[in-house]
């Protein structure tokens, strides 16, 4: 069967929770002047939203997903992005089978990029871009595809900038670190705490797999690394080494 945006919204709305809504509004900084100003919540936990996405996966047409992405409700937008994650998952190569999914992966990635600014809070970014843009970049042979990350990093939109760095998580997991280091370098002087944390997070992921490479990056750029970024990046170091880097960064 085919699900419409109304079907998805009805399923999510039936689980709304006023007490949880108030918690989420505070947690995601929806107050005046905060990064999530004006966002509206139904009060659902992520597993609840995932359950609806799993129910409807691969049976929601693109135009209906688009309607979800432009909903004023945070959880509805999240469900739209999770549906795109499921679409990308279905288009990935399967062991022992010829890979005919490249055009579909490109289509999904470009659909995501066209509506990326609707991922307008950090959870919407983090739960979607590694599994859509990251997967596409890992499997693609498209000329110039990697420049997508650079364009996003140079965007004036905070969320597109976070997409640029967090998308590299999937590449890091496959042992490809250059993209993460390149985008980190572009964002080191960013003014927002959400980017400081995201860059530090990705650097930490690199360091889990190649500690020497992380140390070299930190040593080469320590003078312009934000304190928050550094703390995140060195989280897995020994207490003594963390102390050394934090003192080094003063």
17-23's contacts with Cβ under 8 Å and 24+ in sequence apart are 17/42, 17/43, 17/44, 18/43, 19/43, 20/44, 20/45
Residue closest to 172 by CA, chosen among 204, 140, 215, 212: 204
List all residues 6 or more positions away from 147 whose beta carbon is below 8 Å from its beta carbon: none
Q: What is the mean pLDDT of the chain?
A: 95
Sign of the dihedral defined by the CA atoms of residues 87, 110, 80, 126, in that order: positive
- Position 140 scores a pLDDT of 87
Question: For residue 237, how many C-alpha atoms fall within 13 Å in the half-sphere facing its CB?
Answer: 22
**Three-class SS of residue 90?**
helix
Q: Distance between CA 70 and CA 6 in Å, rounded?
A: 13
List all residues 6 or more positions away from 178 whose beta carbon is below 8 Å from its beta carbon: none
Q: Which two tokens stand for residue 140?
A: 């693609």
Reported as a pLDDT band with limits 50, 70 and 90, residue 94 is confident
pLDDT at 97 over 80: no
pLDDT at 2 over 70: yes
Sorted by where each starts, the structural domains of the chain and their CATH numbers stand as 1-90 (1.25.10.90)
pLDDT digits (tens, 9 = 90+) for 103-132: 999 999 999 999 999 999 999 999 999 999
Residue closest to 206 by CA, chosen among 224, 182, 238: 182
pLDDT digits (tens, 9 = 90+) for 23-44: 999 999 999 999 999 999 999 9
94 phi/psi in degrees, rounded to 5: -115, 140
Q: Distance between CA 139 and CA 76 in Å, rounded?
A: 29
pLDDT at 71 over 70: yes
pLDDT digits (tens, 9 = 90+) for 189-232: 999 999 999 999 999 999 999 999 999 999 999 999 999 999 99
Q: Which two tokens stand for residue 103?
A: 């055009």
Q: Which two tokens stand for residue 142?
A: 């498209």
List all residues 6 or more positions away from 239 whose beta carbon is below 8 Å from its beta carbon: none
Taking CA atoms, 59 is separated from 56, 74, 83, 86, 110, in Å, by 6, 21, 9, 10, 19
Q: Distance between CA 241 and CA 227 in Å, rounded?
A: 15
Reported as a pLDDT band with limits 50, 70 and 90, residue 250 is low
DSSP 118: G
């Amino acid at each position: 069967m085919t699900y419409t945006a109304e079907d998805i919204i009805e399923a999510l709305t039936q689980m709304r929770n006023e007490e949880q809504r108030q918690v989420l509004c505070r947690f995601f900084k929806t107050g005046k002047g905060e990064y999530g100003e004006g966002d509206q919540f139904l009060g659902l936990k992520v597993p609840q939203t995932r359950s609806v996405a799993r129910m409807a996966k691969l049976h929601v047409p693109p135009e209906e997903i688009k309607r979800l992405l432009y909903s004023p409700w945070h959880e509805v937008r999240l469900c739209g992005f999770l549906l795109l994650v499921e679409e990308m998952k279905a288009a990935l190569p399967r062991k022992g089978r010829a890979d005919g999914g490249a055009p579909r992966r490109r289509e999904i990635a470009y659909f995501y990029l066209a509506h990326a600014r609707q991922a307008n809070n950090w959870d919407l970014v983090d739960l979607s871009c590694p599994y859509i843009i990251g997967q596409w970049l890992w499997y693609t042979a498209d000329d110039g595809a990697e420049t997508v990350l650079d364009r996003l990093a140079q965007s004036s939109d905070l969320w597109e900038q976070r997409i640029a760095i967090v998308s590299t998580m999937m590449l890091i997991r496959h042992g490809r670190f250059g993209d993460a280091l390149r985008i980190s370098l572009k964002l080191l002087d960013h003014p927002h705490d959400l980017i400081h944390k995201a860059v530090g997070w990705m650097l930490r992921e690199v360091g889990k797999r190649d500690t020497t490479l992380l140390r070299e990056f930190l040593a080469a750029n320590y003078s312009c690394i934000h304190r928050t970024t550094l703390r995140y990046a060195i989280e897995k170091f020994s207490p003594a080494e963390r102390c050394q880097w934090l003192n080094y960064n003063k």
